[in-house]
Each structure stands twice: as C-alpha cells, then as structure tokens.
Amino acid sequence: MPFNLPIFLTWLRILAIPLLVVLYYLPQGWLPVHERDLFATLLFMGAAFTDWLDGYLARKLNQTSSFGAFLDPVADKLIVAAALIILVELDRTNAVVAAIIIGREITISALREWMAKIGASKNVAVSMLGKIKTTAQMLAITLLLYREPLLGWDSLQLGNLLIWIAALLTLWSMGYYLHKAWPEIAKRTGAGL
C-alpha cells in the first residue's frame, strides 16, 4: 500500500468520521450545543477541503496511485453518509434526501467498480455535473451541521433547500452515468432498449 501526502490527507478524512459522530454522542452538558455544532461544522469543512487538496496535491506532486484513486471516493462517501445520518437523527433534514444521496453513491460506486473490471472506467469518469452535485451537497451539509443563522440567513432553511437541489442533481448525475455506461451494460448482458 503506497503512502504519500495525498493518501495521508485521505486517511485524515476517514479519521474525521468517528470524531464527527462522537461530537453528537457526547454526554449532554459536555459541550454547549452551539459549540458542538461549530466543531462539527469545522471538522466537516476541513474534510471537504482535504477532498479537494488531496486530489490537487496528487496531480501536482505526481503522486497519483490506484490505491489513492480507490480510497479518496470511499472517504468522501463515508463522511457524507455519516453526516447525513446524523442530520436525519437530529431532524435537520429529511430521510428521503439521505436515502437518495446515499443510494446514489452506492449505485455509482458499484457501477464504477464493474466498469473498471471490464476495462471501461473512462465511460463513467467524474463529470462536471458530479462536481456541481458534490459542491451543493458539501455546502448544504455544512449549513445543516452549523444550524445557527449565518450572515442574516437561516442556515437550516438554506441548507435544506441546497440538500434538495443536491438530491435532484444526484438523481440527474446518476442517470447521466448510467446512460454513459449503458452501451457496455447492454453489450455485456444482452440487454437493449
């Protein structure tokens, strides 16, 4: 298993997941709610930043690896899923949204794995639509974790608007990736339209 700075940052993102969860399960009174939400928000924002940073550094330092390419999206999906589950439990967002986003991530991960096995991973490479979806999702989760008014905006209301937009973009991007993969799926399975 290779180890370099980008992979180290990805491991840090994975280690942030139990910290995020623990913040919400500390005994009541250990941290005021506002401080807990602020720490969780900063932790999530740091994880989102390292998602961008590890990819940038891997390309810039020529430290890309197949292990890093595997681990990076796993880390992203795990922290998003953990945050969404916490937000649903706190009644800050809807379970349907969480199910859409988590379900899409599992579906596209499986699709990408299968496409890689058959040598057609370029058909489901990350698209600009996927990047826009991820941005909306990360911003929405950040606002929902913070919960307090921000610059005169109701962060829960804005976060929920953005999370629904992210869910719609999630479905759209899933359709896009499935459409791109369909020729290979049809060829390998004998399916047709």
Q: Which tokens in the block code for residue 175?
A: 């359709």
Short-list 14, 38, 73, CA closest to 146? 38
DSSP state at residue 93: S
pLDDT at 126 over 80: no
Q: Which tokens in the block code for residue 176?
A: 């896009």
DSSP state at residue 15: H
**pLDDT one-digit tens code per residue, 139-192:** 999 999 999 888 888 999 999 999 999 999 999 989 988 888 888 878 877 765
DSSP state at residue 60: H
> Model confidence at 82, in pLDDT bands (50, 70, 90)?
very high
pTM: 0.88
Across the range 23-46, mean pLDDT stands at 92
How many whole angstroms separate alpha carbon 27 and alpha carbon 183?
53
End-to-end, the C-alpha distance of the chain in Å comes to 42
Burial class (CB in 10 A: 0-12, 13-18, 19+), 59: exposed
